[in-house]
Structure 1
Amino acid sequence: MGFLSSLFRRRRKPVTAESLHAFRQRYVNFLELLESNSELLRIMAEIEDKLLGRELFGMSFVRAMATRAMFHARRMVGSLDALSGGRHPAIGRALEEILERLRQELREQVVTEVSELVLPYKRISRDMVDAVGGKNAHLGELSSRAGVPAPRGFAISTSAYRRLLRHQDLEDEMRKRLMAIQPDDPRSLEIAGQEIQELFEAADTPAELVEAVHAAYEHYIARPSGGKPLVALRSSAVGEDSTLTYAGQYLTLLGVGPEDLIAGYKRVVASLFTSRAITYRLHKGVPFEDSAMSVACLEMVDARSAGVVFTHSPLSLTDDRVLVQSVWGLGPYAVDGVVPPDTFIFERSPSGPRLVERQVSRKDVRLALAQDGRLARTDVEETLREQPSLNDAQATELAALALRLEEHFGGPQDVEFALDQADRLFIVQSRPLRREGPEESEPLPPVPGREVLLSGGETAFPGVGFGPVVHVRDKEDLLGFPDGGVLVAAHSSPNYVLAMPKAGAILTDTGSVTGHMASLCREFGVPSILNARTAVETLLPGEFVTVDAISRRVYRGRVDELLALSRERTVLMQGTPVHDSLSRLAKHIVPLHLTDPAAPEFGPQGCSTIHDVTRLVHELSYSEMFSVGDRASDHEGMAVKLRAPIPLDLYLLDLGGGLAISDRFVVGPEEVTSRPFTSVLRGMTDERLSSRVPKPVNIGGFLSVMSQQMLTPPNLTVERFGDKSYAIVSDKYLNFSSRVGYHYSILDSYCGNTVNKNYVSFKFTGGAADEVRRNRRVRAIALILQRLGFTVEVVADRVSARIQKLEARDIEPRLEAMGRLLIFTRQMDMLMHSDASVQHMADCFIRGDFSCAGLPEE
């Protein structure tokens, strides 16, 4: 042995500064490769998690994931190239082909734009949604093809919106603020939205847009006699009034004079970026790039009464009766639920709609146009307060018009109307009726022994919710709304969309089940009771209540009998544009086809995804790294041998501060000053490991190991007993590449005084036993690591684990345990002869019984 040792020392080559630098640089490349591999695994896990559709994300997430995946894949390939001296050029070519396909998916689709900044309704049809938005497309269809009365006016196109964005680089400034949004933080949404709206307000409007709008007003709205009618400016965003309602999310301005057209236009366009509108689009998976605002400019109808018509019940898929609801004055008080509306219900018949039910509400106030054109809340005359705001003939005519629109558009419609002072009916909007959620359930009997705090009202969305009462009076209450809170308010409002993702239930004293907020409650699946009358007065802030929106009761405290009926409510992203975009990108990133290193396709030719490339690079990096390490041990002064009572031929490379002495070929444990490696060594030299009685080797396990070893071709056998292992050390860092038997592992750690930097990362693979025993082994190791607090992932016969951001005093005992684990796994394959041995081995390790006494037999 002395002769062989002296012979080995004589053959060691002297180290040069150049060779030492090259050696260290290759290890740096290897560390970068491992870092990027770990990051890519996290990226792919996050993509797969988001593809389940249960969590909220936007296009910024999609692009960020794709960009990060491309960066780290390139970094891994570059690191392997540097580590191997350029021996694998085909991998780089395969990756670039994959990345080009990924970039193709990322490229924004070219939006076909009309050239005109404004369009008259007689030239607009419903197939022009991209040019004028959903609302304008439907209004154009009403005017040009459906033959129903509609106000005069014109549309300001999406081309005008994009022209405004390009002016003074508004789009770039908007993107900066949108990127700062945290989807689950309402305050970040509010800040970004407010700043973007201020950008619109301060922006100059292109001269050609100003001229086009004023010219269209003079041509399509102004009277020949010189009259200058007021107009309504209504949002018509792309996607609005389609499969998503966007109910009440964007701005409508009523009573706008010709001198205020441009300022009003910019306010409506800016409403794309109110906090509630941003929240809605995030939860519906609509990318910023897919949102463009057109604006409807309509002659103002001085409404005597107004309201909505539904050609089907919004709550029941089987109820095809027509529902007409109206209030005195302008329509917002009906759709926003400020005033309880009159209701007329019609059955369908061959001769036309037949009135079967009439409900007249008390209507104390209305929204009306004042003499100066401003909107004003006014009292309804006492004689009219309990009178119907429509007569039966007017309601019947509305029902017939709505059914005509249903036939024209080929589906149930949600129609808004106005009746002017001359009793002329105008249809101001028609959109597809979106019916959300389950069928309305049969009311339940009161729960015995439970106190009912409130009963009555109307169900906007059936279900059961529980939580603390939160009174909402203003936007500040919405921004601070807690998870699971029960929102209680005086009247309904589409602004409450800000809290809907968090709300356990919603109760309002007034409101209509046909209003904007009710539509949003159904879209978001929030159990909701409207017209509860005394919710604000009765329910005290902070008290916990159970809301039964099926039977319209509110109970004190938690009622488990009812909560058993509740269903998990999640943000369902599946089917949204954002989810579809992520799905298309994911197919180039996530799938793994290279699973067997011995298969002929395990090479660049078999790579079709980023995951395939990184799997191949990761596999090759081990052999390249061990090759570099072997070369280092052949150079005197580059790597030193550790002499310690451990079953490893271990060499150390000190990057600075890891060893007390650096000019020897052999060092002992007492000369190791690396904080993380000292802990690992303490575990590897644990006396309980060295003094344990021999394990009861199972003969089946022994034969399995030996047969696998003998059947493995020499060129495919990477790990052999007695091969060298390597550790790169510094005072606070360790990268330990260990070959123990037929296993190999990589233990990577930083252990210092900065908590946020501290981590332990562990990867373990290999084994000479059959696949079943290797699988049992990794399951046992995974159990051990989980008991130690690691986040663990198992794929085939590989274990990956990580723990991070702990104090050094909490990192060190885990590193010590990792040292014990490395020794403990040496002959584990031969002992994994039954599934029962998995739990037994993990239990033995945790309690320090390394003899594994009482190992279950087959």
Structure 2
Amino acid sequence: MFEFLGRLFSRRRDTRVDDLFKDRYTNFKAILDANSELLRLLSSMDRMLEGRTLFGMAYVRSQGARALFYAARMVRSYERLSGRAQPRLHETLEALHLKIGEVLGEVGHRPPVPDLVLPHVRVGRTMIDSVGGKNANLGEMAGAVGLTVPRGFALTTAAYQLFLDHNQLGPEIDKAQRAVDPEAPETLMEASQIIQTLFLQGEMPPALEKAMHDCLAEVFGQDETLRLAMRSSAIGEDGELSFAGQYKSILGLVPARLVESYKLVLASLFSPRAIAYRLANGILSEETAMAVVCLEMVDPLASGVAYSRDPLAPGRPEMVINAVWGLGTYAVDGRVDPDKYRVSRTNPQDVLSSEAAPKEVMLVMRPGGGVEERPVPEKDRGAPCLNEEQIGHLARSIVRLEEHFGAPQDVEWALDRSGRLLFLQCRPLQVSGAAFVPPDLPQVEAPVLLEGAEVACPGVGSGPVYRVLTEDDLAGFPRGAVLVAEHSSPTYSLVMTRAAAVVTEHGSVTGHMASLAREYQLPALLGAKGAMRVLENGREVTVDAWLGRVLEGSVEPLLALRTDDTGTLMKGTPVYEALRALGALVLPLNLTDPKSPDFRAGNCRTVHDVMRFVHERCYESMFAISDLASSQGEVARKLNARLPLDLHVIDLGGGLEADSASRIAAVHQVVSAPFAALLRGMLDERLRPCEPRPVDMSGFLSVMTRQMFSTERERFGEKSYAIITDKYLNFSSRVGYHYGVLDAYCGKTVNSNYINFQFKGGAADDVRRNRRVRAIGLMLEGIGFRVEVEADMVKARFAKYPGEEIASRLEDLGRLLIYTRQMDMLMTDETSVERLARGFLEGDFSHDWMPSVGGRWSAD
């Protein structure tokens, strides 16, 4: 909002005070913004340390860096605000920087070998750090296992690093990723767009382009009909984590587009879903690199995926094979429901079950390059893609791969038109670790909305339905919702840490999304026919991913079956211990009492200490500057209104009707949208602001005792400030022994609109002050705010609503500020908390229901 500051000072002024105020208010606001970011960071770390949410070292390192960044910003802004250097705070931050560095360690990937390009005949799985998992496994399958693999070569991680260095992309990537908030999918999309554009506009290093074309000629010779597939082979991909469907593949590529396609695959390392996947699985971008597979393109009759074991029942002696006509992309992306075959592991010739699905369309190679969708010939639509001999051949090869790699395998295969079986990829299969045995499910009476769906990942989830039609819909995905879509897609990994469950009408348990759901331990149903018709947006449902059904409402007996396996898994892991060590340097608060002589900069030992110290002291400095501005400068104007506070208005541009001759502002002159709304609430006739309020004797004496013996600098009747523009308001209120800060923007752009409110302090004892903020918290929750209450402080936020909704909430806040004025004296017992909140929410502002004890006293 600080572009508005320039408007205030656009005309010549000779007043040094005004310039001082402008500069220091900017720093005051910077402190509040950084403090808010740190509060969110501390809350997030506390939640992660419960161990119930998956996170990795990317999260730990990000939190450590952000904590230091925002703490340092607070200190620098406080120095400028107060006009005093803070060497002790800088010493504390430097010591914390060193300790946090020891916890986080050094990161980064550097290629182990210098080769830019390697033919697959020279590649094996020991070279995984140079060529990535997909390349390494292709070379291993062709060489050590002896299976048929298309000709091809690997573009190594050294090539990726050369591209980065040649275009100096490292700093720009870091800058874009610093703006990513894991809780806000839209920030992932924004950062992704910036970074991918950098890759696509980057120049190809001449040495890399020459090496690529030399290897192309070595492996394939001169073949004008050659078509290629270019696929990702990032570090970490196809290993312990699958990265299923996270990166780009380009099919049917003509050699002339090799360079352009290479840059597209590199850029996909920073697709929104890839960034989200790394954040969720603890992988820093600095720790990965993109190698690329370049394979001869197969024009298959049929393709698909094979699992050497059933991922939901790995103990069973059977494997799972899925198949579609044409290219296998439609099988793994959930575009077409595939044929399903179950085959004996002990006797791969024994097909235990065969189910041919109706297949209306297929993906095939286009003669001029690329791929296209075509209808499946009528005679083949319901026919099986594989015969028993082909199934047996494929099954035997799958068993060989599992034996060679020593773990269950997830394999992509293709059958060309000559009947030759080719292997395109293999990677470790993510399995549940135990047989798929549903728990003893309770009998429930909830209506069944859908049933007969296929379970991709077992479990139970409940929440409001959120239907996804396009990738853009993911930006607004709310935490705890049930994702409902027509087709499964690996793109949904963007919100899998936020979703309660996933339900799609089409998809396969061998597809990318199913693999991701199992990695995220997210209940998922596929093949839920009619889901998009039956499950309306916002409808509360329970997904039973044991029996493949969706039930009406929140079914508590089923939800009781949910487990905290993720918490058990996280605690004790190296990444959890790293977060715990970081938390010890960030979270503890030692400076708890601002009145204590020990509340000083030299006693700060953690990031939280620095944050609390600066936040407490910044108000003293800001109010001193504001007082100077209103008494000596030309900025502040006293508001003439029937309000129980000395309110001064500082117009930064467009907030008041022009009237430069007067130092007094009338209410009718206020044209600032948020401030006008706040005043409407504060001046509500029902509040009777000028009438005395009844209080009980003990409450009054509690306040008077605090007033007489307090060493605080706050006093009844100090000035309060409203700093405004046409759409912006920062309202700092000091009444008695409390302060409130309200920061709001109210305009036509929904995503820019917000209200941040903070209230602290009071004139009574700690018990009454805590009751007061809890009552205020209940009131704020009742009018739609997100609320956090701690000790004698309440914080609340209402954001991203239309201007009229923001204005309505500001009116409510105006009423709340007057209604709760000096409310400490009314907080006689615990029942008063709920009664005060109920009175406010019901529009009864009289307090007449409050009992009087020993007489009635005026609070004014």
- Trace 1:197-346 onto structure 2 (pairs within 5 A): 204-220=203-219, 222=221, 232-253=229-250, 261-262=258-259, 264-272=261-269, 289=286, 292-298=289-295, 307-325=304-322, 331-332=328-329, 335=332, 338=336, 340-341=338-339, 343-346=341-344
Is the partner of 2:306 in helix, strand or coil?
Answer: strand
Is 1:775 aligned to residue 759 of structure 2?
Answer: no
Distance in 1 of aligned mates of 2:706 and 2:467: 66
Distance in 2 of aligned mates of 1:213 and 1:586: 47
Q: Which residue of 2 aligns with 1:163?
A: 162
Identity value in percent: 34
Is 1:355 aligned to residue 350 of structure 2?
Answer: yes
Supply the AA of the counterpart residue of 1:247.
Answer: A
Check the 8 A contact 2:59/2:282 in 1, yes or no.
Answer: no
CA deviation digits over 1:740-769, x for unaligned, max 9? 3xx243566789999989978553315463
CA deviation digits over 1:643-680, x for unaligned, max 9? 999999x798989999999999xx99999999979969
Supply the AA of the counterpart residue of 1:214.
Answer: H
Check the 8 A contact 1:467/1:546 in 2, yes or no.
Answer: yes
CA deviation digits over 1:330-372, x for unaligned, max 9? 6556545647436241144xxx767362527489898777999
Supply the AA of the counterpart residue of 1:155.
Answer: A
1:413 to 404, 409, 427: 409
1:765 to 761, 768, 778: 761
TM-score by length of 1: 0.69
CA deviation digits over 1:527-561, x for unaligned, max 9? 4334x8x869x969989998988698889xx7459
Q: Which residue of 1 aligns with 2:3?
A: none
Supply the AA of the counterpart residue of 2:215.
Answer: A
CA deviation digits over 1:709-760, x for unaligned, max 9? 89x7xxx82258x7773445789888666463xx243566789999989978
Shift in alpha-carbon separation, 1:320–1:581, aligned structure 2, 3 A: farther
Q: Which residue of 2 aligns with 1:12?
A: none
2:589 to 592, 609, 613: 592
Residue 579 of structure 1 deviates from its aligned partner by 11
Supply the AA of the counterpart residue of 1:794.
Answer: V
Is 1:611 aligned to residue 604 of structure 2?
Answer: no
- Trace 1:769-808 onto structure 2 (pairs within 5 A): 769=765, 771-780=766-775, 782-783=777-778, 793-800=788-795
Residue 117 of structure 1 deviates from its aligned partner by 0.4
Supply the AA of the counterpart residue of 1:402.
Answer: I
Is 1:47 aligned to residue 46 of structure 2?
Answer: no
Residue 433 of structure 1 deviates from its aligned partner by 0.4
Is the partner of 2:239 in helix, strand or coil?
Answer: coil
Is 1:389 aligned to residue 389 of structure 2?
Answer: no
Shift in alpha-carbon separation, 1:314–1:592, aligned structure 2, 3 A: same
Is 1:717 aligned to residue 695 of structure 2?
Answer: no
Supply the AA of the counterpart residue of 1:40.
Answer: A
CA deviation digits over 1:88-127, x for unaligned, max 9? 5423443454467678999983321132101344654445
Distance in 1 of aligned mates of 2:723 and 2:154: 69
Shift in alpha-carbon separation, 1:318–1:762, aligned structure 2, 3 A: same
Distance in 1 of aligned mates of 2:388 and 2:648: 93
Check the 8 A contact 1:118/1:155 in 2, yes or no.
Answer: yes
Distance in 2 of aligned mates of 1:775 and 1:727: 23
**Alignment: residue pair count:** 803
Q: Which residue of 1 aligns with 2:697?
A: 697
Shift in alpha-carbon separation, 1:136–1:578, aligned structure 2, 3 A: farther
- Trace 1:830-849 onto structure 2 (pairs within 5 A): 832-840=827-835, 847-849=844-846
Distance in 1 of aligned mates of 2:357 and 2:706: 86
Is the partner of 1:315 in helix, strand or coil?
Answer: coil
2:486 to 473, 488, 494: 488
Shift in alpha-carbon separation, 1:169–1:448, aligned structure 2, 3 A: same
Check the 8 A contact 2:74/2:611 in 1, yes or no.
Answer: yes
Shift in alpha-carbon separation, 1:297–1:655, aligned structure 2, 3 A: closer
Distance in 2 of aligned mates of 1:356 and 1:565: 36
Check the 8 A contact 2:25/2:622 in 1, yes or no.
Answer: no
Distance in 1 of aligned mates of 2:638 and 2:273: 65
Q: Which residue of 2 aligns with 1:435?
A: 431
CA deviation digits over 1:349-399, x for unaligned, max 9? xxx76736252748989877799998787978979996783555x655654
Residue 278 of structure 1 deviates from its aligned partner by 6.4
Shift in alpha-carbon separation, 1:619–1:165, aligned structure 2, 3 A: closer
Q: Which residue of 1 aligns with 2:739?
A: 745
CA deviation digits over 1:389-423, x for unaligned, max 9? 3555x655654543443344342211234566887
Is 1:90 aligned to residue 85 of structure 2?
Answer: no
CA deviation digits over 1:270-296, x for unaligned, max 9? 554667666766776766555532122
Shift in alpha-carbon separation, 1:833–1:396, aligned structure 2, 3 A: same
Q: Which residue of 2 aligns with 1:15?
A: none
The structure having more radius of gyration, on CA atoms, is 1
Residue 590 of structure 1 deviates from its aligned partner by 5.2
Check the 8 A contact 1:758/1:808 in 2, yes or no.
Answer: no
Q: Which residue of 2 aligns with 1:111?
A: 109
Is the partner of 2:34 in helix, strand or coil?
Answer: helix
Is the partner of 1:94 in helix, strand or coil?
Answer: helix
Check the 8 A contact 1:73/1:610 in 2, yes or no.
Answer: yes
Supply the AA of the counterpart residue of 1:359.
Answer: S
CA deviation digits over 1:454-506, x for unaligned, max 9? 9767444456899999897x9899999998674336xx665777898889521
Check the 8 A contact 2:276/2:493 in 1, yes or no.
Answer: yes
Residue 153 of structure 1 deviates from its aligned partner by 3.9
Check the 8 A contact 1:695/1:852 in 2, yes or no.
Answer: no
Distance in 2 of aligned mates of 1:561 and 1:344: 35
Supply the AA of the counterpart residue of 2:205.
Answer: P
Supply the AA of the counterpart residue of 1:612.
Answer: D
Residue 313 of structure 1 deviates from its aligned partner by 0.4
Residue 613 of structure 1 deviates from its aligned partner by 1.4
Distance in 2 of aligned mates of 1:499 and 1:152: 37
Q: Which residue of 2 aligns with 1:529?
A: 526
Check the 8 A contact 1:228/1:258 in 2, yes or no.
Answer: no
Supply the AA of the counterpart residue of 1:293.
Answer: M
CA deviation digits over 1:184-232, x for unaligned, max 9? 9999989997898787667653332232223334445559xx9997654
Distance in 2 of aligned mates of 1:112 and 1:505: 40
1:38 to 32, 36, 45: 32
Which residues of structure 1 form unaligned runs of 5+?
1-19
Distance in 2 of aligned mates of 1:458 and 1:736: 57
Distance in 2 of aligned mates of 1:170 and 1:640: 51
Shift in alpha-carbon separation, 1:25–1:507, aligned structure 2, 3 A: same
CA deviation digits over 1:582-631, x for unaligned, max 9? 99987765553321336675332332333311311233345566778999
Distance in 1 of aligned mates of 2:681 and 2:266: 66
Distance in 1 of aligned mates of 2:164 and 2:302: 38
Check the 8 A contact 1:643/1:669 in 2, yes or no.
Answer: yes
Q: Which residue of 2 aligns with 1:513?
A: 509
Distance in 2 of aligned mates of 1:197 and 1:71: 26
Is the partner of 1:776 in helix, strand or coil?
Answer: helix
Supply the AA of the counterpart residue of 2:319.
Answer: V
Which residues of structure 2 form unaligned runs of 5+?
1-13, 855-860
1:602 to 599, 603, 624: 599
Check the 8 A contact 1:776/1:832 in 2, yes or no.
Answer: yes
- Trace 1:364-383 onto structure 2 (pairs within 5 A): none
Distance in 2 of aligned mates of 1:407 and 1:486: 38
Distance in 2 of aligned mates of 1:387 and 1:420: 16
Is the partner of 1:847 in helix, strand or coil?
Answer: coil
Shift in alpha-carbon separation, 1:331–1:83, aligned structure 2, 3 A: closer
Supply the AA of the counterpart residue of 2:160.
Answer: Y
Distance in 2 of aligned mates of 1:670 and 1:545: 49
Distance in 2 of aligned mates of 1:682 and 1:367: 65
Distance in 2 of aligned mates of 1:85 and 1:202: 45
